[in-house]
Copies of this chain bind each other. A is one copy, B any other.
Amino acid sequence: MPAAAQTRKAKSARAATGAPGAAPILVDEGMWTLDNLPVALLKKHYGFTPTAAWVELLQKASVRFNDGGSGAFVSSDGLVLTNHHVALGQLQKMSTAEKDYVKEGFFAGAAAAEIACPDLEINVLQSLENVTARVRKATDPKLSDKDQNERRKAEISRITKESTEKTGLRSDVVELYQGGEYWLYRYKKFTDVRLVMAPELQAAFYGGDPDNFTYPRYALDFAFFRVYENGRSVRPERFLRWSKDGAAEGQLTFVTGHPGHTDRLMTLAQLEYERDLGLPLYLEIARRRRKDYYDYAALGTEQARRSKDRIFGIENAIKAVTGEHEGLLDGALMKAKADAETALRRAAAASKDPAVRAAKDAWTRIADAQKKFSARRLQIAYRRFDGTKVAALAAQIVRYVAETVKPNEKRWEEYRDSNLESLRFRLFSPAPMYPDMEEFLLARSLRDALDILGPNDAFVKAALGGRRPEAVARELIAGTKLFDPEERRKLVEGGEKAVAASKDALIVWQRRLDPVYRAQRKWYEDEIESALSAEGKKIAKARFAVYGKSTYPDATFTLRLSYGKVAGYESGTTQVAAFTTFYGLYDRALGHGQKPPYDLAPRVAAARGTLDLSAKLNFVTTNDIIGGNSGSPVVDAKGEYVGLIFDGNIPSLVGRYAYDHTRNRAVAVHSAAIVEALRGIYGMDALAAELLAG
């Protein structure tokens, strides 16, 4: 299942750069921004022309789940539909040893029974505005890379601050086409979001990790929230009407959502780094993390319950990145990338425009920066404690008070005024943390850092001071009050002085680690990011000059539209059907003798005799999606809701680097399955009626 959560947020050399691979766009390829839809391609291949009203409907009915996912308004009463696995983090936070909504599901029969999520923020895109000229004007190409980088960041911070002040909307400047364009996106923000309904994990995630990223599938991976404002459910400006029949074979389908991250414009040198070092290192760490979670879960039933969303997340990430890595090991893909790069380099070198010719050495310089980054990759990767939630909150508090005293444009991006409200919302979340779990995972992270980086690494020294990781973790967790959101609030509101005076063990510890982190980040920004950014921009300019703006930018967890059609595909020597039905769910369960992960949730097992088994359950389309698109609506040409994206098949994983036009498939829950399950399995006829009424 793709979810933005799986995309690595750690700073790495690839995060801020890119280079062209502008092969001709394939049919159904692309995650298009709403300002530059593939109108000619849609007309040519499907005879379809989007109207302004249609685009606005999709824009305003689509929502972003800020902890990593997508969704859509599906009723006039603020009902939002997304995936169960997007809701999973909140479900885990709402659950207790006594009431496990992850395992049992959650079913609010009436508005009063809906429960508020502890820290879920939802955004709805209101407008988008091209600010490329203003950003560009603020910098001077004659300055050093480092100075240009700083000026650009400062200007962006001014733009977002002004916008927030003027409109009251969350305002983000998004870099597209590796710096070829900058756009101001404004969002309406909702933080009173309540859970309405979620199936049992076993029904939603049927087939578990083995079936994840595969097809055929039989998953009820959906969940409903309702958005409130001022204590009342909102009337959304737009919502998607429910299709009477749902997705049909061969039908033109659109997906709107928030793909998290792609690397389709990486240079060959960057792809080689990812293939040979970056992804293997990521997988190495993820496997350690997986072991940590499983070891903790093995301590008891309650520990197992607490670990469920983390285990899901890490398994999901490992399977996705393994698929991406296999994609890069494919010689044909690398050859296509190399050919495209050579073609663009030649075209740039032959240009009459000196600004385009300036790209001539950009690829070499990016390769150099990448090489410089490689040398410190282990350090950057293993200096971490982010298996632990409370230690990460402590770090954020220490950084928050230090950053927010600076002028807005001098701060790190994440501490600028326009982000502070969302950040505080998360910092003061009442979501539960478990001291024994935090200690266990902190000790494991620190043990890894010590083992891999050695006792003389600056981070290891500051973190351990020569002591055993297990002892340090025990003391830190025993000596912190930060499990209490009020304690965190007091420190943040007390500012630098309060933090400096704090004797809380984790705050003291983070004060010691902060200089190490700052030095590393400064090195990255000055030495790597600024070079990648400057050279990436030259390549972007060359690409626009050579190919025009006929393509789409890499994914940035902002609203995109993809198009495609409902279609089965070949796998091995056989044919995979476009649809599965409820028949297939029972076949798979019985064929496996109901052994986990193929056992049936009790409500699902009980419904076997009464359900319409011929109802379509899951289906596949050729739409181009990636992690972050989870929960995206699949809509038809009329803009009606026909399905709910929840996954991609194995051949879709290479989509991080290139779209496989023969076998890439997005996997969705059919709209008919949602209604059938609500009525036939969960007895939620009123909720089904709300969908059908719109």
Contacts and interface: CB of A to CB of B under 8 A. Distances in A.
Residue with the greatest number of chain B CB neighbours at <10 A, chosen from A214, A572, A581, A583? A583
Contacts of A578: 591-593
Residue with the greatest number of chain B CB neighbours at <10 A, chosen from A249, A568, A575? A575
Contacts of A572: 214, 650
A587 B591 contact: no
A573 B581 CA distance: 22
Contacts of A230: none
A389 interface: no
Contact of A573 (B568, B579, B613, B650): B650
A631 interface: no
A574 interface: yes
Interface in A564-616: 568, 572-575, 577-581, 583-584, 586-588, 590-593, 598, 613-614, 616
Interface in A540-577: 568, 572-575, 577
Interface string A608-649: 000001101000000000000000000000000000000000
A18 interface: no
Given A579-B590, A580-B591, A584-B584, A574 B613 contact: no
Given A210-B573, A574-B210, A590 B583 contact: yes
Contacts of A586: 581, 583, 613-614
A583 B214 contact: no
A216 interface: yes
Residue with the greatest number of chain B CB neighbours at <10 A, chosen from A214, A590, A593? A590
B213 A573 contact: yes
Nearest to A591: B577
A583 B587 contact: yes
Interface string A135-167: 000000000000000000000000000000000
A591 B581 contact: yes
Contact of A579 (B211, B568, B593): B593
A69 interface: no
A21 interface: no
A573 B651 CA distance: 12
A214 B573 contact: yes
A207 interface: yes
B590 A587 contact: no
Residue with the greatest number of chain B CB neighbours at <10 A, chosen from A212, A214, A577, A580? A577
Residue with the greatest number of chain B CB neighbours at <10 A, chosen from A210, A213, A587, A588? A587
A73 B369 CA distance: 75
Contacts of A310: none
A235 interface: no
Given A210-B574, A573-B214, A573-B650, A591 B584 contact: yes
A648 B579 CA distance: 26
A319 interface: yes
Contacts of A583: 583-584, 586-587, 590, 613
Contacts of A212: 573
B598 A210 contact: no
A348 B375 CA distance: 55
A593 B249 contact: yes
Given A613-B583, A613-B586, A650-B572, A591 B210 contact: no
19 contacts: A210-B574, A211-B575, A249-B593, A319-B573, A572-B650, A575-B592, A575-B598, A577-B591, A577-B598, A578-B593, A579-B590, A580-B587, A581-B591, A583-B586, A583-B587, A583-B590, A583-B613, A584-B588, A590-B614
List of 6 A-B pairs having minimum Cβ-Cβ separation, nearest first: A577-B591, A584-B587, A583-B587, A579-B591, A577-B592, A214-B574
